[in-house]
Chain A
Amino acid sequence: MSNDAIEPTFADRARELQALADVLLPGDGHFPPASAVGAHGLLSERLRERLGGDAVNSVVVALETAAGTSLAALDGEGRIAAVRRFAENQPELFAAVRSTLYFSYYQAPLVVDAVRALGIAYNDAPQPHGYLMDPFDPTPGKDAPSLPRGSYIPTAAVTRLPTLPPATHPTRSEQ
């Protein structure tokens, strides 16, 4: 942005993060969009934790540079194109945003419910319940091999290999 650009207000920044979150995780008929579960709020908090106090502003500036205007002012296709440019221009910052948003999204209770609704047992958190699993069945062919395989070289049978592979690192310890 140019030096004489108008500094985005806090409301602007919030709208930009909300728009970004919904471009990255737009939702479908089953999963809610990111902003509907508040993931963009956690995103701002965690970007600060991960990248420092100016992180949100850095993301907003990067977005508006990529968009040429406010991301929120663009239509759907325009937003996607702008975010794609953001990812290309600043891949490390974009990757941090994306990973932080994914973590924030998948901890939301409604998203956990949506995962469960796929028919998958999935807890709000690993404890205290854990997961019920069938105990190990030692019957061959069940949880153990039907035909045990494998071998090892006993101590007394270890001898010099007949050939050695190509030379290795020159600074290896001499032994």
Chain B
Amino acid sequence: MIAASAGTKPDRADVVIVGAGVGGALASLVLARAGLRVVCLEQGGWTRPEDHPHASPDWEWQRATRWSTAPNVRRLPQDYPVDSSDELTLMWNGVGGSTTVYTATWPRFRPSDFRKGTEHGLQPDWPFAYEDLAPWYERHDQLAGVSGLLGDRAMPERGPFQTRPLPPGSLGRVVSRGFERLGWHWWPMPCAIIAEEYDGRLVCNNCGACQSGCPRGSLNDVSLTIWPKAIAAGAELRPYSRVERIETDERDRASGAVYVDRLTGIRSMQEADIVIVAANGVGTPRLLLLSESNRFPRGLANSSDQVGRNLMHHGLAIVEAWTQERTDPHQGVISATFISEEFAESDPARGFVNGFTMHIVRLNGAGFQANGSHSGNVAPWGAAHHAWFREHFGYGFGMLLVGDDLPIAENRVTLSETATDSNGIRAPKISYKLDPNDRRMMDFAIDRAKDLAAAVDAFDVKVNDFTQPGLGYAPPAWHLLGTCRMGSDPAQSVVNPWGQSWDVSNLFIMDGSVLPTGSAVNPTSTIGALTLRAATHLRDRFGDVRGG
């Protein structure tokens, strides 16, 4: 740890943004294009294309270690530890945020996801409807570049995709026959990865290593797709800048962000008229809780006591199957085959509310597959190893089961009593248990995945329900949602429908923490759409918000 020096005071900004992931990038783009002075503080640095492990023979080892998606595995200086035995929290800390290493899976939420309070009351209604967000989905897609196919009857009509779908390959043809045999919905998975030229970016060449990012820029890593545009518009991105608290003034308005330059140890106060926190569903509540003061003893923007609560990740299980037909699951975008939304809507006859989606996914390379891929089907050691490898390598596929988990008040982010980051700032502590409703849902989902495995005549099936001896359900937690949720009632939510704090009128949140519900699909498409909507609203009313 570098000791922080005496403070400095950079020039005042119109807007300071904490976090350079999808929320910070899109907010910077919108506000900088309006001519505002935008400064974005990011605790990590840039990732150059050549930094990725894709061209190195040890790419799988790197993926398991320094390119792990889990900060508690990587333990890099820009990371902060996550104090939890309930899950393995996943994120990337650096310019681009977690879009640096995600799968860019790009489905949209469903209309009923915005009306769960009406539907069953175990989740809140959103303060607006799907139709209000739909135009912002379109704008986000135009920036991200999305591959897909129109005509999906499981979703509302939508605007055009930017490119055709990515190749489903032999895997797709094998699995589609199983779906057809069962009579279930299936459709090409929308992905923010381009299958045709778009926006000057290279077309995906199906290398299959998306989970270590994309050095080609085919995948919507916002450090490559959005940040260059935001910087060209005048936004200032300040990497290696770790924010330790948001300050407030005598009017209970945010006055700026105190941060430590991780390279020099110099502590500075970036003053601004507007503060936007976009540090993800763990980092944002952590920062608000760290910003407690005499005036805000429970943490900033937390009069509702909802900051950090209602953490959602999605219920998760993975079932893998191996067939007699070649699937070559090391080739092609890992998540770009199909999605089935056959079970996405609630049906109480199943014994649970909400629904799940099934994603057909690939399995990475030979080392990863020998080590059990996503399901833990580890190749035996000894004389049987090579026969197992011949039977399995090139013949498998995965069924990723993603369930809409309920927001539980005690599933939450607090501050750790013991762990700190490399600057001595308290780490987040996470408590997360799967609700019995969601356990029933995931068990049902696993049975349906077994149905699909049987429908393709699989000779081997492995289930990973992420239950561990002594720990219970302890999943990898990729989607960090709900911990500063938006709503219409200041007593039950942290921000209003525009991402604006109920308590601190010039403080905004633009990341996954504002989602009232998580749907049963990957959230980045929705987080970006929400950010564009909120940032544009802020832009159009900037004078009023600045004036308080």
Contacts and interface: CB of A to CB of B under 8 A. Distances in A.
Bound pair (A, B):
yes
Interface of A: 23-28, 30-31, 46, 49-50, 80, 83, 98-99, 102-107, 109, 111-112, 115, 118, 120-136, 138, 143-146, 148-155, 158-166, 168-169, 171-173, 175
A122 B367 contact: no
B379 interface: yes
Contact of A127 (B112, B131, B207, B368): B207
B48 to A, nearest CB: 14
A109 B366 CA distance: 12
B151 A121 contact: no
Contacts of A109: 57
A24 B365 contact: no
Contacts of A80: 382
User: Which interface residue of B61, B118, B378 has the most chain A CB atoms within 10 A?
Assistant: B61
User: Which interface residue of B346, B367, B407 has the most chain A CB atoms within 10 A?
Assistant: B367
A135 B188 contact: no
B408 A171 contact: yes
User: Which interface residue of B151, B205, B328, B492 has the most chain A CB atoms within 10 A?
Assistant: B205
Contact of A160 (B119, B129, B186, B331): B119
B381 A145 contact: no
A129 B205 contact: yes
A167 to B, nearest CB: 8
Query: Which of the four size classes fits the interface of chain B?
Result: 35 or more
Contacts of A168: 122, 406, 435-437
A146 to B, nearest CB: 7
A161 B59 contact: no
Contact of A122 (B156, B330, B409): B330
Contacts of A27: 386
Chain A to chain B: the 7 pairs with minimum beta-carbon distance, closest first: A130-B205, A150-B154, A126-B207, A150-B185, A106-B367, A133-B167, A127-B54
A38 to B, nearest CB: 12
Contacts of B209: 126-127
B160 to A, nearest CB: 14
B55 A144 contact: no
Given A133-B332, A149-B184, A159 B119 contact: yes
Interface string B164-181: 111111001100100110
Contact of B151 (A122, A148, A173): A148
A133 B186 CA distance: 21
B341 interface: yes
B110 A165 contact: no
Interface string B279-320: 000000000000000000000000000100110000000000
A80 B381 CA distance: 10
A146 B367 contact: no
Nearest to B57: A107
B206 A131 contact: yes
Contacts of A111: 366
Contacts of B378: 98-99
A30 B122 contact: no
B61 A143 contact: no
B466 interface: no
B349 to A, nearest CB: 8
